[in-house]
Every structure is written in C-alpha cells, then in structure tokens.
Amino acid sequence: MVARQLDAQIAAHFEVGRRLRVLDVGLGHGTQALRLARAGHRVTGLESDPERLAQVESAVSAEPEGIRERFRTLAAGGQDTGAHFLPGTFDLVLCHDALPLETDPSTTLAGLARVLDSGGLLSLVVANSLAAPIPHARAGRWDAALAEFDGRDRPLLGAAELESLLERIGTPVENWFGVQIFAAEDDPADDERLLAVEERAGRTEPYRRLAGRLHLCAVRG
C-alpha cells in the first residue's frame, strides 16, 4: 500500500522519466529502496542495524550490474544525515518506520528536510500513536490495550501533530494517508479486494485517522 501511495505522489510531483536522487533512511529489508533502484533511480540507503544492512547488501549484490551501480549503503541512522550529506543533495527522502518518536523527532526531521533539494519530496511513514490501543483491542489483547491508554504520558503523534511539526521546518505536508486501517499484519499482501478497501479508507475521513500507521508526503519549500 505504501508503494502504491508513494508511486502516485512521485508521478504527480516529478516529470515523467526523471531519474531521482533518493535517500532511504532506515532501510529495513530494502523493499522500497530496491524497487526504486530497479526503476532507474539512484539510491543511497542508511541503516544502523548491522544485520539488516548486511541483508540488504546481500540482496543488492544479486541484482544486475546497472542496479548495483545505482545503489550504495551507509552504516548510519537518520540523525547522521548532516555528517554525510550537503544540503539539497536529494530529490526524494524516505523515512519509513524509522523515526524515533519517543525522543525528539523534530531534530531528525529537520536533518532530513535539510538534505532535500528545493521542491524535493519527503515520504514519512510512522506509527499512529493516537490509534495504538486499536490493534490490541481488535485482537482481544485487553491488557495491552489498557497499557496503551496508561502510557499517555509519552508524546502522542498523530497526523495533525506531524503536519504542524513539518510545517515548522519548512516542509509542509502535501498529502497524507492511513495505512493498515482494516488490514492485519498477517493478511495477504496481494489480495486486491483488501488493497482496494485499504486504499479508499487510507484517503478518506475519518477512517485514515484510525490507521495503525500514517504515510505523510511533504514538500521542501
């Protein structure tokens, strides 16, 4: 679902055929980064977890030479962008499930915005802390659901809070979507009916505000 939403935003934001300079912060399994490299974009991936980084590098090594040449990795995290890149280095920055919400996300986001070129696109996927009790309650994990309510002394970040934060650092949100509204983690990813429902709900009020994760697409001013 994130890939569908991201591709739509890229198509709307950049001219057809443009080869983008992409930074993926927190590679994870490298799914989005590899997909974009295969599409012809030049990708730099940051990953602080040595095991995950090794897995991605192994996957990249199995790709054709042209893709390997367009893909480089660094052992670093989202807080390290200032040490590695000049301002305006990238056209597209991905930060999917890698933003440290429990500490100070504004510092990390400011660093990501800094390395975006003017007019560049930031794709941010985060857990929706306002909806944290919902998946536990849906699965009958009542103690865990109550614990989420009891932990409300930690910062709460939903769509409105993130939009305000991004506005303050000069990268206002252009579009945002809900992800995992009705779908569970173990639902088949290729079920077109499920994807159709998720896609519709992910851009429709009030359903998108109840999503387990939020996908925000912001533009560097």
Q: What share of the chain is helix, strand, coil (3-state, %, to 5)?
A: 45, 20, 35
**Distance separating alpha carbons of residues 81 and 113, to the nearest angstrom:** 10
Question: HEC states along 22-56?
Answer: EEEECCCCCHHHHHHHHCCCEEEEECCCHHHHHHH
Asked whether 127 and 213 are in contact (CB, 8 A), the reply is yes
| Angle, helices 192-201/2-13, rounded to nearest 10 degrees | 60
In total, how many domains does the chain have? 1
With tokens 């699965």, the residue in question is 139
Query: What integer pLDDT is reported at residue 153 of this predicted model?
Result: 62
The domain of 144 spans: 2-219
Q: Are 24 and 121 in contact (CB under 8 A)?
A: no
Residues 6+ apart with CB under 8 A from 12: none
The answer, yes or no, to whether residue 80 has pLDDT greater than 70, is yes
CA 141 to chain centre: 27
Residue 186 has pLDDT above 60, yes or no: yes
CB 10 within 8 A of CB 121: yes
Highest mean pLDDT among 17-31, 95-109, 142-156: 17-31
pLDDT, mean of residues 185-191: 75
Q: Give 119-166 pLDDT, tens digit per residue.
A: 999 999 998 988 889 888 888 999 999 988 886 666 677 889 899 999
d(CA 120, CA 105): 20
CB atoms within 10 A of CB 107: 12
Residue 168 zone, left/alpha/beta (φ > 0; ψ -120 to 50; rest): alpha
CB-based contact 45:98 (threshold 8 Å): no
- Please check whether residue 23 is in contact with residue 88, taking contact to mean a CB–CB distance below 8 angstroms: no
User: Residue 184: which pLDDT band, with cuts at 50, 70 and 90?
Assistant: confident
CB atoms within 10 A of CB 144: 14
Domain of residue 108, CATH code: 3.40.50.150
As a whole-number percent, the residues of the chain with pLDDT over 70 amount to 95
Give the pLDDT band (50/70/90) at residue 104: confident
What does the pLDDT average to over 45-68? 96
How far apart CA 213 and CA 30 sit, in angstroms, is 19
